[in-house]
Amino acid sequence: MKPYEMNALQAGEAIRSKQLSPVELVDSVLERIEAVDGRVGAYVTVTADLARAAAATAADEIAAGRYRGPLHGVSVGVKDLVDTAGVLTTSSSRTMAGNVPTSDGAVVERLREAGAVMVGKTQTHEFAFGVITPTTRNPWNLDHIPGGSSGGSGAALAAGMCHLAIGTDTGGSIRIPSAVNGVVGLKPTYGRVSRRGIASLSWSLDHVGPMARTVADVAAMLQVLAGYDRADPATVAEPVPDYSAQLTRDLAGVRLGLPRNYFFDNTDPAVEAAVRAAAEALAGAGAEVVEVDVPLPAAYMPAEYALFMSEASAYHQRRLRDQANHFEPDVRLLLEAGEMILATDYIKALRVRTLLQAGWRDLFATGLDAVIAPTLPNVAAKVGQEQFTHGEPEAIIDSYVRTSAPGNLTGLPALSVPCGFSDDGLPIGLQIIGKPFREAEVLGLGAAWERLNPAAGRVPELA
């Protein structure tokens, strides 16, 4: 196995045991980027010289006995929405051309403290306002999209161009690219991870979180990222548990809800079959799987759009006035549409969100440990495709956001983990939604499914 093909913890262990140096690891990743990123387009900026210098520093520290932990020397791609000191940070927007921050975002700061080595900035849909990431292609089939808005992070992981990646999620943008690229992504509980130093899309819906190729890697990365930050007033001083401790849990006594409504509407038959097969496998391994009704199914999309479009338009208002022609047409249209939403509709959406949060609290009060569902109703769309047609025709963005928005509106932790493939070889995602601040339990369930999944570990045949 080549170093870039290892998962993050395998690479970290090889470094710790001195079978591999951080310099050898980063060289392998940079060679992989050089070989394939011309076709995939996962990176907006590759920081090769800085990465080699950071890897050399990591090697010196480890040789001197200053080992920082399992991510020391491991490569990470950072979504271009996150500030990185001295490195171009554009949010994939012409309006931010030439922007070089003087400090790191909180998540980058924490990864550097853990010894991780940034290899570059990954592409995003402009300002994270979309689900396509038009500059990037899906490594499983280059004719298809990588999802968004963290599409660069998802594609980079799937193609072996980093071991870990940072994503952000306002309407599903960690879980969408995780599902369509066949990797693992966790949207933590709202308030679990600091968003300091990240361009906002919607203050009350934005989350930041880990993406990787295995559940264990995501758990190790969350261990570094989680925790209170007084500079982000949304973070919560909740204790941070040992996320790896529950990865070996068995399923005896676990009660899982499988939605009867909403999540399987207008769904690709291949996706529905894969998710229901996963539910049967989890039940066969000891979990109790019960059908449930998710609350207020008609309320998610209106509330999600009213909140994030209004807040995005407020955040970008001055930029929209001064540089409207520098936005991509789709993002400009959404920002201008957001300005037409009435304040009364925004207030109603806030009220609906409160009702949704109460509804999910009541759902979990029935004794559920988690709800399992499709991450997305469909697989990766073709480049240029505008709709899915399983059931009622549905725009790509509506289809992808529909099943991920409940996690954003409620703030509940939600994990996407690979769950098989369509007949044409495109990945499918299983979503696991848990109780507030119970990421350890969600990750434990994800790891349990990963052990049962016959397709786990499959990688794209991108030469």
- What residues act catalytically? 79, 149, 173
Identify the helix (H) or strand (E) that includes residue 120. strand 117-122
b/e sequence 394-403, b meaning 16+ C-beta within 10 Å: bebbbbbbbb
Separation between Cα atoms, residue 79 and residue 77, nearest integer Å: 7
Helix axes 48-63, 22-40, angle to 10 degrees: 160
Strand order in the sheet with 207-212: 43-46, 117-122, 75-79, 164-169, 207-212, 184-187, 414-421, 427-433, 370-374, 255-259, 288-292
For residue 145, the Cα-to-chain-centroid distance in whole angstroms is 15
Phi/psi at 296 (5° precision): 45, 60
Contacts of 301 (CB under 8 A, 6+ apart): 398, 401, 402, 405
Closest alpha carbon to 396 in 202, 210, 151, 211: 151
Closest alpha carbon to 306 in 359, 347, 365: 347
Q: Which two tokens stand for residue 160?
A: 């072996």
Q: What residues does 343 pair with on adjacent strands?
A: none
Separation between Cα atoms, residue 89 and residue 121, nearest integer Å: 8
Residue 84 gets which letter from DSSP?
A: B
Q: What residues does 277 pair with on adjacent strands?
A: none
Contacts of 19 (CB under 8 A, 6+ apart): none
